[in-house]
Each structure stands twice: as structure tokens, then as C-alpha cells.
Amino acid sequence: MASHFLTLAIALSLSIAVASAGVIFEERFQDGWENRWVKSDWKKDENMVGEWNFTSGKWNGDPNDKGIQTSEDYRFYAISAEFPEFSNKDKTLVFQFSVKHEQKLDCGGGYMKLLSGDIDQKKFGGDTPYSIMFGPDICGYSTKKVHAILNYKDTNHLIKKEVPCETDQLTHVYTFILRPDATYSILIDNEEKQKGSLYKDWDLLPAKKIKDPEAKKPEDWDENEYIPDPEDKKPEGYDDIPKEITDPDAKKPEDWDDEEDGEWTAPTIPNPEYNGPWEAKKIKNPNYKGKWKAPMIENPDFKDDPDLYVYPSLKYVGVELWQVKSGTLFDNVLVCDDPEYAKNLAEETWAKHKEAEKAAFDEAEKNKVEEEVKDEPVDSDAEDDDAEDEETAHEALQCSENDVSSISGHQSAE
Ligand SMILES: *[C@@H]1O[C@H](CO)[C@@H](O)[C@H](O)[C@H]1NC(C)=O
């Protein structure tokens, strides 16, 4: 009887555990995806909207596993999908997707955004406010990182920790996990690459503790680690040692004519006995107290926000990119509250196909090399110039991004 009850209890708690694993949005890009995603008209009037290609790409582990890929160079891309409004209060938020840069990306992003409230998806663009922006960003040699930008009270904040991203031409899974205890993790291919606290790794709130601005170094605080030895005395006659002496080896030249050349004097040389002005030798200062530091006090401007991690009205997931060179393929977009579920999805998709994809990629590379040998050599100089221009434009963008108050989007190489 008791064991029966136990079995029932276990079965019950198991079913509760399963039921509580909430998938808020999952898009594997199968037929019908176009009904769920809205292509924005942003940049349409300038004829700068790039087309998405529904494809598994040039190399893949499963030709039937398609995603959406940017297909035109020098174009803007903005697309979004809506899901039932969701608050992550008291829940773990997991945001995950896979991305493959088939174009050998030398400058561009592969990030996605979560947006809140009500937006006009037809107008979704670089200026549309977002809640979270997450994913890889590559530009030249200087930028190869994972962005994790959090909006807090209408201001975008970049993560302060460096998180390197993948730079090859294969599929990788990026996962952002945000927990109710205000900790986070960033995973690439199911491996944790960074973790920490919202309080420490973003400047969302003013610091909890600050140096006491009122504190002053006490007058008698001795910061000198070494002092001249008071016991040390200047040897007698020390100051009488001349700096220079007449060269004892110098001889008056034979053809020296006193009448014509004046009286001969021997040249002087530095005195090897001379040791500079006398200084007492240094000893450890017995009164040394170390470098003075202002004491830390509670920051009066700090007001804790127990809901720091909460996004009360998440409602859309979107991609908003400027691409110089197209070929970025997104797939398996997931918003859920269970890291285990996300991990399994990555295992079932990316992990299952990664070896076959790598083999297909190697094959494609081999064929490319063979074709290049047949063809005329390409003008690689012109390509290099291009890449440099892109890098400069992107760096300018990074600057404005660091001025976090001005972050609204991340493309605008206009
Ligand atoms: C879409 O992708 C496939 C596979 O890479 C490619 O063969 C095709 O040309 C692409 N279509 C467009 C319109 O870019």
C-alpha cells in the first residue's frame, strides 16, 4: 500500500516536471514557416531588403533540415515571429538558435533578438526597441565575440565579459540562459563558455559598494615602502672625489707647437672612483602601512531590484541584420524555460548532423580548390581592400554601440 502510494507520488511529480517544461516558441523551419514569420518592410523603400533563402545550405548534415539564409549581399534583413506573451518571472529563460556562416563571414553579425510588448512586425528594424540581443558578431581580426545585450529601463547594456564566438563556416548553437537568481550562462554547442551574475557582468544597476568619497588619507599614513637608512653615514672625503680626472695615459703630441697651438693640457676622462652624489642605502620602512585605499561603503544610489532579470512581456523573436556578404543561416530557434529541453534539442539537431556537415564542408572545400586551380587566379588584392573598408565601418559602429545609451540596433552601416 505504502509502496503503491510512493509509485503514484513519483509518477505524479514526474508528470508535473514534464508539464512544467514550457516551450514558449520553437521553430525548426519546416514547411509553413512563412506563416509564422513576418518579413519587415523596413528599408523596402530604399530597395535594400535582402531575400531569405529557405535552404539547408551548400553543406549540411541533412538536406531536409532547412533554415533561413541571407541570400543577397549589401542588404538589410529583418524578420520576426510572434509567440504568446511570456514573463520569465520566477522562471528560467532559455534563448537558443543555431547559426552557420557559409560565406566565411569577415564582417557581420549572426545574432537574434527577443522583443517585448506590441510591435508592428511590418516595421521591425534597427530602431525597434528590443529586450535581449544575443549571438555572434565578427569583424576582421578585432571583433569575434558573442553579444549579450540586455535592455533595462529603456537602456541597452552590453555584457562586460569577453565571450569569443565561433568563426568557421559550420553550424553552431548559441544558448543564453537567464535564471531567477539573476545568474546567467552562455553556451556554445552545449558547452558553457561564460557564466556569472547580472549584477556583476552588466552595468544594469549602480554598483552596490563604492569607495567612500569622504574618506581622506590620514596625514600620518606612510606609503613609502623603503626609506634611507638613518644609520648609514657618508664616508669621510666622499665629496672630495672629483667627477673627472686628467687622462693619465694622454701624451702631448710630438708635433704640438706651444707657440702656435697654445699650451698643451691633457684631456680629462670620467673618474672611475666617482660614484655620484652620496645617498644613504635604503632599508624597509618600519612605519610602512601599504598603499592607502579609501574604504568601501554602501552606495547610496544603489537600489536593489529583485526583478532585475524579469522581462514581463516577451512576445517576439526576430533577426535584424545588415549583411555585406550574405550566407548566414539560422535554424532551430527556441525560447523556453528549461535548459535540459534546449540541450536535447541541440543534441537532436546540430550534434546529430555535425559530423556529416563537416564531411560535406570538407568535400565542398576540396572541389573549390580543384576549380580554382582550373580557373584564372582571382584578384585577391581587391577583396582585401573590401574587407578593410568593412572593418572600418564596423568599428565605427562598435564605438557608437559602446556609448550604450545610443544602442538601438546593430546594423546601420548606412
Ligand atoms: C538557396 O540556397 C541553395 C543552396 O545553397 C542554392 O543552391 C540556391 O541558389 C539559393 N537560392 C538563392 C535564391 O539564393
Report the nearest atom of ligand 1 relative to the CA of 51.
13
326 CB neighbour count, 10 Å cutoff: 24
Q: What is the pLDDT of residue 403?
A: 38
Q: What is the pLDDT of residue 396?
A: 44
To test the pocket of ligand 1, the residue of 51, 52, 55, 77 to mutate (highest count of ligand atoms within 8 Å of its CB) is 55
118: cell is 506590441
Ranges of each domain in the chain: 21-202+310-371+379-391
3-state secondary structure at position 338: coil
Q: What is the pTM of this model?
A: 0.74
The DSSP element (H or E) to which 306 belongs, if any, is: none
180 CB neighbour count, 10 Å cutoff: 15
N-term to C-term CA, the chain: 73
The verdict on the CB of residue 55 being under 6 Å from ligand 1 is yes
135 exposed, middle or buried (CB, 10 Å; 0-12, 13-18, 19+)?
A: buried
3-state secondary structure at position 11: helix
> Can you tell me the distance from the alpha carbon of 414 to that of 409, in angstroms, rounded to the nearest whole number?
12
Nearest Cα residue to 414 out of 394, 398, 399: 394
Binding residues for an alpha-D-glucoside: 111, 113, 130, 137, 320
Listing DSSP states for 201-233 in one string gives HS-SS--SEEE-TT----TT----SEEE-TT--
Contact present, 43 and 50 (Cβ < 8 Å): no
What letter represents residue 172's amino acid?
H
The verdict on the CB of residue 56 being under 6 Å from ligand 1 is no
Phi/psi of residue 340, nearest 5 degrees: -65, -45
402: cell is 559602446
Phi/psi of residue 92, nearest 5 degrees: -85, 135
Q: What is the pLDDT of residue 379?
A: 53
Contact present, 228 and 318 (Cβ < 8 Å): no
CA atoms within 13 A on the CB side of 92: 20
Q: 80 C-alpha to center of ligand 1: Å? A: 21
> Can you tell me the distance from the alpha carbon of 62 to that of 56, in angstroms, rounded to the nearest whole number?
7
Listing DSSP states for 352-376 in one string gives HHHHHHHHHHHHHHHHHHHHHHHSP
> Can you tell me the distance from the alpha carbon of 396 to that of 83, in angstroms, rounded to the nearest whole number?
35
The verdict on the CB of residue 57 being under 6 Å from ligand 1 is yes
Q: What is the pLDDT of residue 76?
A: 96
Listing DSSP states for 91-155 in one string gives S-EEEEEEEEETT--SEEE--EEEEES---GGG-STTS--SEEEEEEEETTTEEEEEEEEEETTE
Q: What is the pLDDT of residue 249?
A: 87
Binding residues: 111, 113, 130, 137, 320
Contact present, 152 and 308 (Cβ < 8 Å): yes
Looking at domain 21-202+310-371+379-391, its CATH class is mainly beta
Q: What is the pLDDT of residue 16?
A: 46
18 exposed, middle or buried (CB, 10 Å; 0-12, 13-18, 19+)?
A: exposed
Q: 52 C-alpha to center of ligand 1: Å? A: 10
Q: Whose CA is nearest to atom 14 of ligand 1?
A: 71
Q: What is the pLDDT of residue 305?
A: 96
3-state secondary structure at position 176: strand
Q: 201 C-alpha to center of ligand 1: Å? A: 40
Q: Whose CA is nearest to atom 10 of ligand 1?
A: 53
To test the pocket of ligand 1, the residue of 54, 71, 103 to mutate (highest count of ligand atoms within 8 Å of its CB) is 71
110: cell is 549572426
In angstroms, what is the C-alpha Rg of the chain? Answer: 34
User: Which residue ranges of the chain lie beneath pLDDT 70?
Assistant: 1-21, 376-414
87: cell is 514573463
Nearest Cα residue to 141 out of 392, 412, 413, 408: 392
